[in-house]
Amino acid sequence: MFLRSHSRLRRAAVAAAVGACAVVGLAVPATAVPAAPAAPAAAQAGLRSYLVITAPNNTAGAKSAVATNGGTVFASYDVIGVIVAHSTATDFATKMRAVSGVQQVGATRTSDLPAQVSNPPIPASPTQTTPTAAETNRVDMTQIKADQAWAVTTGSPSVTVGVLDTGVDDQHYDLKANFDASKSASCAYGKLDTRVGSWRPEGTHGTHVAGTIAAAKNGKGMVGVAPSVKIASVRIAEAPSGLFFAENTICAFVFSGDQGFKITNNSYYTDPWLFNCPSNVDQAAILEGVKRAAAYAEGKGVLNVAAAGNENYDLANKTTDSTSPNDSTPANRPVTNACLAVPNELPSVLAVSSINSSNVKSSFSNFGTDKIVVAAPGDNVYSTLPGGTYGNSSGTSMASPHVAGVAALILSVNPSLTPAQVRARLAGDADDLACSDSRCAGTTAKNNFYGDGRVDAKDAVGGGTTPGGSFENPTDVQIPDGGAAVTSPITVTGIPGNAPATLKVDVNVVHPYRGDVVIDLVAPDGSVYRLKSSSTNDAADNVIATYTVNASTEVANGTWNLRVQDIYRSDVGYLNSWKLTF
């Protein structure tokens, strides 16, 4: 399901009009959304899809067992130990879980497979219109300083961004110059389909996302964040439902890694569960399968960027889900923080929240402590639509491709960076955004609404003064009451030369009487910088602050320590986390 409002009917917006006012992925009240389409015809009554998970490169025995237990192997991703099996047998999963070497088995959906699974049709190529309107300097591009970054680079054609979505109109006037058909395919229904045109759009969502990333700078229509990089389409939405099931997502991530994409954009969540809970055997298999596939892509050098979701939900404090499963009959169910939205809550994925033109969290955007890496514009974003047209759309679906585009610019000027280093550059060069309402928690430098802040394309490509990079230690350290000082280390790598004169140190100490606490920054050579002294008059709780240190005489790379001491007795606290931003 591509990301829109909390309403389970939100998928209907995929068929939005393609005129100038078209709306794709808009977060709207449930009452404003038309009814969901009728269920598609089934391939065979009772035919379901399952993930059968084994150790990587050890699938042979499980494949044989699929056949003897009433199933067929539809696709297999041996390198990550994931088999996609089809079966009408209601006891198929139970039997397969007893097979030696099988680690997990789970149904990927609660509905029968559609008729299209056996012979997927190729989407028609939309009739094209040549745009006449000139490009303008739009607010979303100026917000993230993409227009200033273009003075450094508009991107390199050696960088390919995979748009994992509903498909892309490769013939669109603003996209065709940057589209790479040789690296495009369909993964709808869970099996790779490289037929010409299989990547084309079912709906408008993926084409809109693609334009934000890499619409050409050609004087007409609009321009993307990285207008000279390549884009490839990997369609994962099925037709006619428009849903993104786990086997489709797995196929797309593995294909992305094998094709050498530098970045993928993932503006959807994996259906049919908004959150996948490890306590449920089916959802646990979905979690494991997609996690392995995303990690495989990352291991091949792919940075996976994803939309955080449009439920206005605190992902760090989950309690209920009333919208799942969305392929049959949703029901209220309790959920916990162990239940994850996929792919945006996976460890190898960079999650993006949405802001409006006033740099405030969009009303629909999900949030959560340590769930958001950066934020980007997602309200009323103007971009490409199939057939050579354009439209405005809202959602974290629209925010995520801004970040994917900035990542593409970074790799255009620094092609040797790893996904982890690009992620650090995006976070470290982001512009701080202060909390905007009472649900926002954390510091201006890092909080649960915006993560490390609004993505900054100019600084990320070296157009500003920030050398780049942030490093964090989130591990709790207990502070003895009236005792010896404790330390928490951060090892810095990949930062050339000395630290800046404006080194930022974000500190989060939980303590009922912060006047007791003394805090020092210790450089790799042992030099000490006092951040906070004790005070008998400061009875407030907690230290949540950002300190600026002139560390320009210190070599940046090496192990830095935060040293914290409670010098008075009777109150006990702990260091929650701290971060260095260069």
Q: What is the pLDDT of residue 15?
A: 31
Same domain, 286 and 371: yes
Q: What is the pLDDT of residue 151?
A: 92
Most confident of 40-54, 235-249, 464-478: 235-249
List phi, psi (to 5°) of 234. Answer: -120, 100
Q: What percent of the chain has pLDDT over 90?
A: 78
Say if 518 falls within a structural domain: yes
Cα–Cα distances in angstroms (integers) from residue 36 to residues 117, 367, 439, in the given order: 21, 27, 32
From the list 269, 268, 272, 247, the residue with the least C-alpha distance to 326 is 272
Rg from Cα positions in the chain = 24
Whether 322 is catalytic: no
Say if 114 falls within a structural domain: no
pLDDT tens-digit map of 42-90 = 768 899 999 999 999 999 999 999 999 999 999 999 999 999 999 999 9
Whether 208 is catalytic: no
CB within 8 A of 529, min separation 6: which ones?
Answer: 520, 521, 522, 523, 549, 551
Q: What is the pLDDT of residue 1?
A: 60
Same domain, 288 and 309: yes
Same domain, 242 and 289: yes
Q: Which residues pair with 374 in a beta bridge?
A: 352
CB within 8 A of 68, min separation 6: which ones?
Answer: none
CATH of the domain at 517: 2.60.120.260
Specify the DSSP class assigned to residue 45: T
Same domain, 458 and 476: no
Instruction: Tell me the two tokens of residue 243.
Output: 């849903």
Please state, rounded to an integer, the average pLDDT across all residues of the chain. Answer: 90
Same domain, 453 and 483: no
Same domain, 194 and 294: yes
Higher pLDDT, 224 or 494: 224
- How many CB atoms neighbour CB 151 within 10 A? 10
Q: Which amino acid is at 106?
A: G
- Confidence band for 29, pLDDT divided at 50, 70 and 90: very low
Say if 9 falls within a structural domain: no
Specify the DSSP class assigned to residue 20: T
From the list 107, 78, 162, the residue with the least C-alpha distance to 400 is 162
Alpha helices in 305-347 (DSSP H): none
Are residues 528 and 521 in contact, defined by beta-carbon separation less than 8 angstroms?
Answer: yes
pLDDT tens-digit map of 498-549 = 888 889 899 999 988 888 999 999 999 999 999 999 888 888 888 988 899 9
Say if 542 falls within a structural domain: yes
Q: Which residues pair with 555 in a beta bridge?
A: 498
Whether residue 272 is preceded by a cis peptide bond, meaning omega within 30 degrees of 0, is yes
Whether 78 is catalytic: no
Same domain, 323 and 418: yes
Average pLDDT, integer, range 104-112: 97
Question: Dihedral sign, CA of 223, 226, 229, 230?
Answer: negative
**CA max distance for the chain:** 75
420 in helix, strand or coil? helix
Average pLDDT, integer, range 427-453: 93
CATH of the domain at 94: 3.30.70
Average pLDDT, integer, range 122-142: 92
Q: Which of 6, 86, 205, 511 is catalytic?
A: 205
Residue 576's Cβ-count burial label (10 Å; 0-12, 13-18, 19+) is: middle
Q: Which of 7, 397, 412, 488 is catalytic?
A: 397
Say if 525 falls within a structural domain: yes
Q: What is the pLDDT of residue 97?
A: 98
Pairwise CA distance, residues 108 & 52, whole Å = 10
CB within 8 A of 182, min separation 6: which ones?
Answer: none
Same domain, 211 and 263: yes
Say if 415 falls within a structural domain: yes
From the list 184, 566, 209, the residue with the least C-alpha distance to 404 is 209
- Confidence band for 3, pLDDT divided at 50, 70 and 90: low
* Domain-terminating residue out of 436, 462, 488: 462
Question: Dihedral sign, CA of 210, 211, 217, 220?
Answer: positive
Pairwise CA distance, residues 307 & 349, whole Å = 10
Residue 46's Cβ-count burial label (10 Å; 0-12, 13-18, 19+) is: exposed
pLDDT tens-digit map of 264-307 = 999 999 999 999 999 999 999 999 999 999 999 999 999 999 99
CATH of the domain at 350: 3.40.50.200
Pairwise CA distance, residues 301 & 506, whole Å = 29
Q: Which of 165, 271, 452, 456 is catalytic?
A: 165
The number of C-alpha atoms within 13 Å of 385 and in the hemisphere containing its C-beta is 21
CB within 8 A of 297, min separation 6: which ones?
Answer: 253, 254, 256, 257, 261, 264, 304, 348
Same domain, 427 and 333: yes
Number of domains in the chain: 3
* Domain-terminating residue out of 107, 130, 153: 107
Question: Dihedral sign, CA of 165, 144, 156, 417?
Answer: negative
* Domain-terminating residue out of 462, 488, 507: 462
Same domain, 176 and 287: yes
- Confidence band for 495, pLDDT divided at 50, 70 and 90: confident
Domain housing 176: 139-462
Say if 129 falls within a structural domain: no
Same domain, 411 and 537: no
Report the b/e string of 330-346 with b at 16+ CB within 10 A: eeebebeeebbbbbbbb
Say if 537 falls within a structural domain: yes
pLDDT tens-digit map of 349-371 = 999 999 999 999 999 999 999 99
Residues in the chain: 582
Same domain, 457 and 476: no
Q: What is the pLDDT of residue 65?
A: 98
